Structure 1
Amino acid sequence: MKAVQLTAFGTDNLVINDIPTPSLKTNEVLVNIKAVSLNYLDQIILNGTFNRGVVFPYIPVSDGAGVVAAVGADVTRWKPGDRVVVQYVQNWTKGKVDPESNSIRVAWQTPGVLSEYTAIPEHGLVKIPENLSFEEAATLPIAALTAWYGLIEQAGLRPGQTVLTQGTGGVSLFALQIAKAAGAKVIATTSSEEKAARLKALGADAVINYRQHPEWHEQVKALNGGEGVDITMDVAGAATIGQSLLAVKENGFVGTAGFIAGPELSLDIHQHRINLNFLRIQGLAVGSAESFAAMNRAIEVNDIHPVIDSVFTMKQAMEAYLRLESGQHTGKIVITVP
């Protein structure tokens, strides 16, 4: 089979090689990968700033979707021809995460999925929503599930509440779509009028250009009747967490879903009113396979379609990573296989 492999850290070291097709254990499924999508995580693993024991040559990318090509002797959940999407935290099947269920992530402790075939335990796959293509389904495992798990299962989003989304990356756009489907009001932040128009077209009730309003938490309250929002998903980390806390009301929920501006958080309990306003700060990193299946049912019922910025071929993997690194994308970057 053909696979994209990283031979050393850096985009220039991505190459396509012919390697053996994985052999199946009795509980595994051979998936013919049709599409993968990139996350910020893939970028920082590729450049070596988030090294989790990468051994070269390394097959990158955590998010993938495809069709079942073969199944092991003990597999009962899947059959050849089934359309499936990969569960990122492989052993997290349901409930709260614990050390055992949190131990295996795709492209960390296992090979990534930027290859024609991959072998996955049968519990590490989820059925693709009927209304989505392989390219669309490949965007779901990390970004969409993080937004769903944060909003629906952790924050307990209810109709009529207000959600603040930040930027036009994958998690934020999925949070916008999920929140609107759940009957919430959405205020979004962005950096340009062009992106603001895109956010409004996706259903945002109001959009704040944070370049024009550096203290954007004040604008959030002005757009929400003078009070903070119920929920926000903070995706930048160091640069935004302070204003995220100031942008929510009493008993507000701040989900930390990313760290594109840095992982170190400097917080003042008094200044950011953490105690006085009974604020909840919740770390987020996707969800269980049970959550994934629930989200996919909601995607079907509401006919939600992921926002795809651009689609590249396997031969254009380097260009796809450079597009991600540029920060100019709106939505997800997809690579088709082969």
Structure 2
Amino acid sequence: MPINMQRWELTRYGRDHLAQVDAVVPTPQKNEILVRVSAVALNYRDKLMVENGMGMALDAPLVPASDMAGEVVGLGPDATRFQLGDRVLSTFFPGWHEGAYHPAYAPLGGPRPGMLAEYVVLDQEWAVSAPRSLDAIQASTLPCAALTAWFALVENGKLHAGQTVVVQGTGGVALFGLQFARAHGARVIVTSGSDNKLSRALSLGATHGINRHAMPAWGTQVQVLTGGSGADHVLELVGGNNLAQSLEALAQGGFISQIGILEGFEMTAPVGPMLQKRATLQGIGVGHRRAFEDMNAAIDHLGIEPVIDSVFAFSDLPMALERLDRGPFGKVVVRVSD
């Protein structure tokens, strides 16, 4: 086991204060595991944490990013949940095993230390086994984006065959939502500002694509495409006044899962359609460990493969963040070790 390692640290908010530094390989304590990190997937949240902390005070230095796939290479006293050599994933909200969320379940990558390091120590309860069918690059994409889509559609939304799902954009959550919906026998309508991305989404199994620039009132078009029935589920990944279009697209008794904040932390929509359609508006903040394990079992059973936009070397983290700026098709991943 090496004594020293490399990791990324943020000393002040802003990309100019992000640096790759030397650090000591941590030693696992009671109930902890030492993980050799193979890959870290980036989320839009990680970009915001680096840039401004999303309003949180910075406990410097902060190691960014929450989503990790790696191998257990060390066990602390009483660590029995995993064995040496096991492939594991981090959980976004450490300690949230099931049931209601509690504010004490603070996420990794801010305010808790994150995963952009060659080695990390985790409480054994803060990890899950990786799907057997995925390699480390693929599996690293699951803790936040995949679980968010699964929690919205399956765990809370009770998705079933024959329903219609609207996903907005073609980032990680949207494409996982598309894949999970199709696997459950649902129809999927994708909205995007790019015809090229819509074409790629159709090749993944989407039923229809709507260019939101060419058709700003895309909610009305969803009604047309569904013969006036509307969508049973809408993954609201934009925020702001886009919620009004999500309501327009919705079926009677449908679910809107508010996830994205691309247009800020405020959202606006008319009350009338909310009442008339008996809509359920649910806020989704990833999900708990039991749902994560259920999802991983389904991924193995169904053969779902995450959509990877690009993979960057560990030293190229700034380039990976720039790729996030440009709106990837799927997930951006940092390879930490082979």
Asked if these proteins are the same fold (TM beyond 0.5), I'd say yes
- The number of residues matched between the two structures is 333
What is the rounded CA distance, in whole Å, between the counterparts of 2:259 and 2:268 in structure 1?
Answer: 16
Q: Distance in 2 between matches of 1:135 and 1:66?
A: 10
Q: Do the aligned partners of 1:14 and 1:317 also contact (CA within 8 Å) in 2?
A: no
1:9 matched residue in structure 2: 13
Is contact 2:59-2:111 (8 Å) kept? Answer: no
Tell me if structure 2 keeps the 8 A contact 1:144–1:171. Answer: yes
1:166-219 Cα shifts (integer Å, max 9, x gaps): 110111100000000011011111112110111011100111111111100011
Specify every segment of 5 or more residues in structure 1 that has no aligned partner in the other structure, as ranges: none
Percent pairwise identity: 39
Query: Which of 124, 139, 163 does residue 137 from structure 1 map onto?
Result: 139
Using the alignment, how far apart are the partners of 1:9 and 1:322 within structure 2? 16
Cα shift readout 1:32-73 (whole Å, capped 9, x = no counterpart): 111001111111111115132222222111111100011111
> What amino acid is the match of 1:286?
V
8 Å contact from structure 1 (residues 40, 260) kept in 2: no
**Distance in 1 between residues matched to 2:268 and 2:285, nearest whole Å:** 21
Give the match for residue 292 of structure 2.
292
Q: Which runs of 4+ in 1 moved over 6 A?
A: none
Q: 2:130 aligns with which of 116, 128, 131?
A: 128
Matches within 5 A, 1:53-68: 53-68=57-72
Find the residue that maps to 1:290 and give its secondary structure: helix
Q: Which residue of 2 aligns with 1:190?
A: 192
Asked whether 1:34 is paired with 2:38, we answer yes
Equivalent residue number for residue 306 of structure 1: 306
Q: 1:239–1:262: 8 Å Cα contact kept in structure 2? A: no
1:92 aligns with 2:106: no
Q: Which 10-residue stretch deviates more, 49-58 or 304-313? A: 49-58
**C-alpha spacing 1:198/1:155, structure 2 compared with 1 (3 Å):** same
Q: Which amino acid aligns with 1:335?
A: V
Counterpart CA distance in 2 for 1:67 and 1:21 is 15
CA deviations 1:112-150 (Å, max 9, x no partner) are 100001111111101111111111111111100000000
TM-score, structure 1 length as denominator?
0.96
Which range is displaced more, 65-74 or 48-57? 48-57
The alignment yields a C-alpha RMSD, in angstroms, of 1.1
CA distance in 2: counterparts of 1:30 and 1:108, whole angstroms: 20
CA distance in 2, matches of 1:66, 1:326: 28
Q: Is 1:249–2:251 an aligned residue pair?
A: yes
CA distance in 2, matches of 1:11, 1:305: 31
- State the match for 2:236 in structure 1: 234
Contact 2:13 2:53 in 1 (8 A): no
Partner of 1:209: 211
| Cα distance in 2 between the residues matched to 1:49 and 1:26 | 31
Write the distance in 2 (CA, Å) between the matches of 1:336 and 1:276.
49
State the SS of the aligned residue for 2:271: coil
Q: Which moved further from structure 2: 157-166 or 47-56?
A: 47-56
Shift of 1:99: 4.0
Instruction: Indicate conservation of the 8 Å contact 1:12/1:318, yes or no.
Output: no
For each residue in 1:266-323, what CA deviation from the matched residue of structure 2 results, as whole angstroms up to 9, or x when unmatched? 22212xx111211000000111111000000110111001111000011100000111
